[in-house]
Amino acid sequence: MKTLPLFVLQCISINQVAASAKIFDMLEYICHVNYLPLALTWMSDRRILRLEKSACYLNDSTMVEFMEACGEHHLEEGKGVAGKALQSNSMYFVSDISKLDVKDYPFIFEAWDFGLRGVVAIKLESVYVSSIDYVVEFFLPLEMKGISGQRLLINEITNILQKNSRNSWKVCTQELNGFNISSEVEVTMEEVGTSNIRPAAISDSPPLALSEIGSLNSSQIRELCNIFMPTGDGVEVPEAHDQVLDTLHLLCMQL
């Protein structure tokens, strides 16, 4: 087997360090803007994923043990959310990983311990080093349970990635797939921006049409925020409003 010259190996190493630094910066920004607890970066080596800790970001320091647990094992192609993204050469989304089996998500017990739910993994194909690809894995806010709010947030994440990766990576977002188990929903990228996608567990008649929220002005959104998201103590909102609450949560942060 032919060995690469030393200067070539050194250049590859320097490129990897630079790539990790840039990915870290993007993940830091995305986590801060969208209140994500953490984001992981996996590096692909012969279709095996290993955690690149220098490119991971913890917005919630209590998640460090979860990151360490992920770093103890390599992921084969097709295993875990990141492995599915690598296998499909695209995006892979699970609205609630707590419902998965250990064979589908090797870190399920740690996910239970930390209350993690929504996860999306996105493959980044390197423009410069064709043999090295990355998969970035974003964990959505713990309180975000409605798939409509998750969908809006994923759109925001992918938009930021695409704007900041043009010169370094191809962001693979052709399809957004979900596990076909535990009442998860399988969707395509074209459907991500629509309002008719919901898991089987959610009623077909939500209390408030999500399509109506998008047409409201800022004053009307603030009024709804005050109604559905009161700041007073002891106020409970029915679980049936999860989709609306998640959508309003995102819109209120942007006002």
- pLDDT score of 26 more than 80: yes
Of 76, 78, 58, nearest in space to 68 by CA:
58
**Residue 46: inside a domain, yes or no?**
yes
* Cα angle for residues 78, 81, 85 (degrees, 5° grid): 65
35 and 114 inside one domain: yes
* CB count in 10 Å sphere of residue 66: 21
Of 214, 35, 226, 45, nearest in space to 141 by CA:
35
CB of 127 within 8 A of CB of 94?
A: no
- pTM score of the predicted model: 0.68
> Of 178, 198, 218, which residue is a domain's last?
198
> Of 160, 180, 198, which residue is a domain's last?
198
122 and 148 inside one domain: yes
Tokens standing for residue 114? 């930390």
Of 184, 19, 191, 170, nearest in space to 100 by CA:
184
- pLDDT score of 252 more than 70: no
Q: Averaged over 143-153, what is the pLDDT?
A: 92
Domain count, the chain: 2
Tokens standing for residue 175? 């399809």
pLDDT category of residue 139 using cuts at 50, 70 and 90: very high
139 and 186 inside one domain: yes
Q: Averaged over 53-81, what is the pLDDT?
A: 95
Flag the least confident range among 14-18, 129-133, 156-160.
129-133
Distance from chain centroid for Cα 218: 27
Nearest-angstrom CA–CA distance, 55 and 190: 29
Mean of per-residue pLDDT scores for the chain: 74
Q: Averaged over 236-241, what is the pLDDT?
A: 40
> Of 171, 198, 225, which residue is a domain's last?
198
**Residue 137: inside a domain, yes or no?**
yes
151 and 52 inside one domain: yes
Structural domain range at position 224: 203-255
**Residue 1: inside a domain, yes or no?**
no
Nearest-angstrom CA–CA distance, 27 and 161: 9
128 and 212 inside one domain: no
104 and 171 inside one domain: yes
